[in-house]
A and B are shown apart, each in its own frame.
Chain A
């Protein structure tokens, strides 16, 4: 099963970046904070997956109409396969937080990690979470704690890293079929920056310096492409990614927010509900990328008639 799931690749690559960053980029990462955030994410995920169905059922018992539908989904969550698979997602969130978020204290990391995971359970629209968990964790830490920050300059602007991110990101995107999002985001952001560069009269090295920022590329290839929280249909993903690019551009250049990309993604995440409503398309499931379990690929909806007991509501 190892490396069958696109998430295994993601975990592998994010771990690689973490090691590279600590080893070659002079990061002041504290190993104890990394451990804390990983524990927090995994434990929160475990607990949430275990108790959420009961909690939800109790909640919906008050609303009898919904009951039948929920029973169905609850049985899926209790499935151990789903639980262990969902820990992978928690691991990805933990790795992303370790890569991006800096803090001075354990509490901040605990807040970031637990809220990141809980956001998947709390903010759902028709059984789909719409905040990117790591991004939600980062923004909550920035808002709620006094000692969190993000270092946008941490990767520098080396071609080598750009190639590394593009290569590894490409491998994951190919598996989950979300390259369109990255292309729309980077394309429209690059276009806007190009227009600004021409208008201001800067030389083109300024432009490339801005675009080659490792943090920007990492965001474009690994964060906004999370297939579980972004819109389902291709057209809506393109619209959505373009909106994020425009907002990022405005926040960065007009309001001088150094962490513009994260705020833009956070602010526009709820837009994906609306977009899913307008362009309906089957929801993404990680298991679709498992060739051993299914022969389905691309964006085909899992067949209800499939005899294997497939968790429909994994997080």
Chain B
């Protein structure tokens, strides 16, 4: 009898769990707009292709000043030889960005009097701006130049140092301008036996090649340290900085191990007027989510097998493009063993004291930042079901408005006003012939 009762309880629990399990068919819809890194004034972008301890790191470069002032100092775990450093194609980072950006999708309600038949429309255009940039410099004595070479338009030095004052002095003597306080921050890296990758632009090469912009720097190395040094980038800055990390790996999602990795809010139905201000929407929404997590979480914006996408904000990268992005483990035929994780980190000195540490997991769950517009049916409605549909609309629109207010922190009154405007505009019958 008791056994029977236990079995019954288990059965009920099982049914409950099956019913609450996430829906596998959750992803569908049509892509209309994306919130890519062009939204942010100053977003660094880094691509990490990693399998085991082998790593190809690509740093996008959006340096805005005079090219001859450009210099970058990055702690790296090992000494790099010339052939381990390459200059990448900036298009690839744009491609990764476009492929993984949070997206807006829209549906058009079908005539409630007919059988469902989805229709779609429209691409809203993304905004304008830029990407990248770690900047920092240092110098010293007791400094060894491990390697010195030129790759593309860059002159590269690989330095090792015994102590931070020496490194700071060395860099200063060699014409690198170093921010105040860099000395303090270089020390931990020196003590951890890390090397310094120092790059500046070789003006001759730059002019000879006739490039408009600095291209991304890529480096290949083997190290069990799976991390990104962000502390150096915060030397003089107390403001918030955006970093987008695209991790390409064979197994599954990558997560941050020393901060929480949180998914951005997704799959929300929001009012249709957002179509024209998707960029603003995403920025406000991200800022709200960032604040809600105490400004100390990293955000997952996209996680997907590179072989597919649904809906696609851009075509998946071809095997050639993946190779250009640093993927070195591709088999000859398919690209199905590449998983992309897009992490968005907005960091400040006080909330992110430690460098970012990562780990690859075997989590193959797909995730995307996806926001849904549902256009109400605007045609003539004649049936009973149609009347019911009409009656149910205001409640739905109100719910969408509240969702939007909750996600973005925008004023609900303003949203309601805009929602009504959008609604009436769509409802005018003459817009069908004179748009």
Chain A contacts to B: CB under 8 angstroms: 25-26, 28, 30-32, 35, 39, 102-104, 146-149, 151-158, 199-203, 205-206, 208-210, 213, 255-256, 258
Contacts and interface: CB of A to CB of B under 8 A. Distances in A.
B255 to A, nearest CB: 6
B179 interface: no
B263 interface: yes
Nearest to A103: B362
B240 interface: no
B14 A35 contact: yes
Contacts of B192: 200
Contacts of A199: 191
B360 to A, nearest CB: 8
Interface centre among A30, A202, A208 (most CB of B within 10 A): A202
Nearest to A108: B362
A256 B222 CA distance: 13
A290 B154 CA distance: 72
B184 A102 contact: no
B353 A201 contact: no
3 residue pairs, one from A and one from B, having the closest CB atoms: A149-B361, A201-B187, A205-B353
A25 B297 CA distance: 10
B361 A157 contact: no
Contacts of A258: 257, 357, 359
9 contacts: A26-B262, A30-B21, A32-B17, A102-B361, A102-B363, A104-B252, A152-B359, A200-B192, A210-B258
Interface of B: 10, 13-14, 17-18, 20-22, 164, 184, 187-188, 191-192, 224-226, 252, 255-263, 294, 296-297, 350, 353-354, 357, 359, 361-365
Given A201-B184, A206-B354, A258-B357, A26 B363 contact: no
B350 A205 contact: yes
B353 A206 contact: yes
Nearest to A256: B224
Contact of A157 (B17, B256, B296): B296
A14 B21 CA distance: 22
A31 B260 contact: no
A148 B257 contact: no
Contacts of A32: 17-18, 21
Given A149-B361, A205-B350, A31 B262 contact: no
Contacts of A103: 362
Contacts of A203: 353
Contacts of A210: 258, 354
A208 B350 CA distance: 12
Among B10, B184, B258, max chain A CB count under 10 A is at B258
Nearest to A154: B260
A146 B364 CA distance: 12
Contacts of B255: 151, 153
Nearest to B353: A205
Nearest to B10: A39
A152 B188 contact: no
A158 B259 contact: no
Contacts of B13: 35
B315 to A, nearest CB: 27
Nearest to B297: A156
A258 B357 CA distance: 9
Contacts of B184: 201
A31 B17 contact: yes
A140 to B, nearest CB: 15
Contacts of B262: 26
Nearest to B20: A31
B187 A156 contact: no
Nearest to B16: A31
Given A156-B297, A205-B353, A149 B225 contact: no
A200 B294 CA distance: 28
B357 A26 contact: no
B257 A153 contact: yes
Contact of A35 (B17, B22, B259, B359): B17
Nearest to A25: B260
Nearest to B224: A256
Given A158-B294, A203-B353, A28 B363 contact: yes
A155 B297 CA distance: 10
Contact of B260 (A30, A148, A156, A200): A156
A103 B361 CA distance: 9
B231 to A, nearest CB: 9
A104 B252 CA distance: 10
Contacts of B359: 149, 152, 258
A256 B225 contact: yes
B19 to A, nearest CB: 10
Contacts of A25: 260
Interface centre among B297, B357, B361 (most CB of A within 10 A): B361
Contacts of B191: 199-201
A153 B17 contact: no
Nearest to A213: B258
A104 B17 contact: no
Contacts of B261: 151, 153
Given A154-B260, A200-B188, A209-B354, A104 B294 contact: no
B393 to A, nearest CB: 32
Nearest to B188: A200
A39 B17 CA distance: 13
B259 A156 contact: yes
A153 B343 CA distance: 14
Contacts of A148: 362
A312 B1 CA distance: 29
Given A102-B361, A156-B297, A256-B224, A200 B187 contact: yes
A170 to B, nearest CB: 25
A209 B21 contact: no
A147 B362 contact: yes
Given A30-B21, A31-B21, 12 more contacts: A25-B260, A26-B263, A28-B365, A102-B363, A103-B362, A153-B260, A203-B353, A206-B354, A208-B353, A210-B354, A256-B224, A258-B257
B257 A152 contact: yes
A287 to B, nearest CB: 23
B54 to A, nearest CB: 14
Given A31-B17, A104-B363, A256 B226 contact: yes
Contacts of A200: 187-188, 191-192
B260 A155 contact: yes
Contacts of B263: 26, 28
Contacts of A209: 258, 353-354
Contacts of A146: 362
A103 B365 CA distance: 11
> Which of A103, A158, A256 has the most C-beta atoms of chain B within 10 angstroms of its own C-beta?
A256
